[in-house]
Amino acid sequence: MQRLYVVGIGAGDPDQVTIQAVKAINKIDTFIVIGKGVEKQELLDVRTAILGEHAHQQFQVIELPDPPRDRRPGDYPGTVDRWHAERAERVAKLFDDIDGVGGILVWGDPALYDSTLRVVERSRFSGEVVVIPGVTAVSALCARHGIVLNRIGESVLITTARKLREGWDGTDAVVMLDADCAFLDLPDDVQIWWGAYLGMPDEMLFSGRVGDVGAQIKAARDEARARKGWIMDIYLLRG
Amino acid sequence: MQRLYVVGIGAGDPDQVTIQAVKAINKIDTFIVIGKGVEKQELLDVRTAILGEHAHQQFQVIELPDPPRDRRPGDYPGTVDRWHAERAERVAKLFDDIDGVGGILVWGDPALYDSTLRVVERSRFSGEVVVIPGVTAVSALCARHGIVLNRIGESVLITTARKLREGWDGTDAVVMLDADCAFLDLPDDVQIWWGAYLGMPDEMLFSGRVGDVGAQIKAARDEARARKGWIMDIYLLRG
């Protein structure tokens, strides 16, 4: 493999792909899916729709399952590190075996809370890596709520639920990777703009004071997650 | 005007426009350009290229000059606010005069350090507003440097040079709107990934320790700005 495209394909709406991404997709001989089984059918369907509509060349898809992972290791950092190393080895071997141009499609943007570029770096791939930026879930969230992310001249923190639980200084914050509705522990007066399945048929949007809409969000989130088996959500907080 | 599209068109590369944006562009009868004269010829050329390639219907373009603005006011928020109010009045009058579907094309994403949505809100337009998210300059910067914005599990602050000068707690930070190379006042060991004219023919990229590349960036930036008459740049800092 001489070249690898890492292509952001937007937050869930197949039409959120860019012309730049479409052009890259049409240069890719082999699409590599790392971590088969991680993604749900609806997400695979979006990706299939994008390739079906925009890929006009012959291509193959190779799925590379992740190595088995000890979910409750005694030595957590060491175990995670060995797991990443093992995955990087498998990826390196696959890259060696592939002829021509490879590509990896990434939800949202490869720069935001996605591990693909780190895996590629660890694989020590010596060919050219071209990154195509995509529309982030952050932008999709703001668009659907019709809001501007930042207040005039102010900063915005992009963070995770784990960091939010460690403490929040009140800076406007976008929270990702929240499995447990960390916002419920915030003061009632904090404003939240929440979205799930953005750009997809089951899109859900809530906004208001945490005290007013927090419990509603949790109930709707729990119901959707149970019904569909997965959820992708994100929110903006203003103190 | 019954409906207004506010369309993110990406950070400077005409191919960074999304399919969703192209579809919206094809529904727009009147493109409104707020702030004629602010943009340089090369930026206008990118926008013209996007319309030339993707708009297949008949459309008109109406340019609405901005009211005059004090660029270095003592009372920053207040001055900006009054200026926005005056602009909103002009916009409201224009919206009233337009028939059919209107559209405003926005650099990057309408949610990030762009005033269009605030102007629209202040104009009290009573029709439907549809926001189409775009690829941000933040994503474009990371893509061109081949880096991930956030470190594993860590937060990232999106901020302005003005806020950076007020103080920085060392959180990884993307800095926008820096007219005076605020990074030069940071410790030498801070890492910087800097980019200007991202996705355009004159794109410039520098990365390294501020102590090693800071002066180089300033020199290259000053030269380009003098030669071209304008600059659009952005950078990521890691302490």
Contact A148, B114 (CB under 8 A): yes
Nearest CA in chain B to A139: B133
Mean pLDDT of A71-75: 74
Tell which residue, B137, B140, B157, B153, has the closest CA to residue B239.
B157
Mean pLDDT of A69-81: 77
**Residue A39: is its pLDDT beyond 70?**
no
Nearest CA in chain A to B144: A131
Residue B218 host element (H or E): helix B210-228
What pLDDT, on the 0 to 100 scale, is given for residue B45? 86
CA distance A209 to A188: 6
| High-pLDDT (> 70) share of chain A, % | 98
Closest approach of A230 to chain B, Cα-based (Å): 21
Mean pLDDT of A77-95: 88
Confidence of residue A75 (pLDDT cuts 50, 70, 90): confident
What pLDDT, on the 0 to 100 scale, is given for residue A127? 95
Residue of A9, A16, A17, A19 to mutate, interface with B, max B Cβ within 10 Å? A19
Contact B234, B138 (CB under 8 A): yes
Residue of A113, A129, A155 to mutate, interface with B, max B Cβ within 10 Å? A155
Q: Among the residues of A10-109, which ranges form H helices?
A: 19-25, 41-54, 76-97
Q: Which residues pair with B7 in a beta bridge?
A: B105, B132
Q: Which fold has domain B138-238?
A: 3.30.950
State the DSSP string of A149-196: SSPTT--EEEEEHHHHHH---S--EEEE--SS-GGGGS-TT-EEEEEE
Three-state DSSP class for residue B146: coil
Q: Enter the tokens of residue A236.
A: 């903006």
What pLDDT, on the 0 to 100 scale, is given for residue A202? 94
Three-state DSSP class for residue A45: helix
Burial B217-231 (b: 16+ CB within 10 A, else e): beebbeebeeeeeeb
What pLDDT, on the 0 to 100 scale, is given for residue A186? 97
The conformation of residue B126, written as its DSSP 8-state character, comes to: -
**Residue A38: is its pLDDT beyond 70?**
no
Nearest CA in chain A to B50: A19
Q: Which residue stretches of chain B have pLDDT < 50?
A: none
Tell which residue, A187, A1, A172, A19, has the closest CA to residue A103.
A1
| High-pLDDT (> 90) share of chain A, % | 81
Tens digits of per-residue pLDDT, B169-221?
999 999 999 999 999 999 999 999 999 999 999 999 999 999 999 999 999 99
Residue B144 host element (H or E): helix B137-145
Residue the block writes with tokens 């993604």 = A39
Closest approach of B89 to chain A, Cα-based (Å): 19
Residue the block writes with tokens 């920053």 = B76
CA distance A150 to A1: 42
Q: Could you state, in order of their start, the residue ranges of all structural domains in chain A?
A: 3-135, 138-238
Confidence of residue A67 (pLDDT cuts 50, 70, 90): confident
ipTM score here?
Answer: 0.94
Contact A209, A171 (CB under 8 A): no
Confidence of residue A37 (pLDDT cuts 50, 70, 90): low
**Is the domain covering A3-135 a CATH 3.40.50.620 domain?**
no
Tens digits of per-residue pLDDT, A115-125?
899 999 999 99
**Residue A178: is its pLDDT beyond 70?**
yes
Question: How many residues would you count in chain B?
Answer: 239
**Residue A26: is its pLDDT beyond 80?**
yes
Q: Which residue has the higher pLDDT, A42 or A227?
A: A227
What pLDDT, on the 0 to 100 scale, is given for residue B37? 63
**Residue A8: is its pLDDT beyond 90?**
yes
Same CATH fold, A138-238 and A3-135?
Answer: no
Chain A residues whose CB is inside 8 A of the B134 CB are 135, 139
In the predicted model, what is the mean pLDDT of chain A? 93
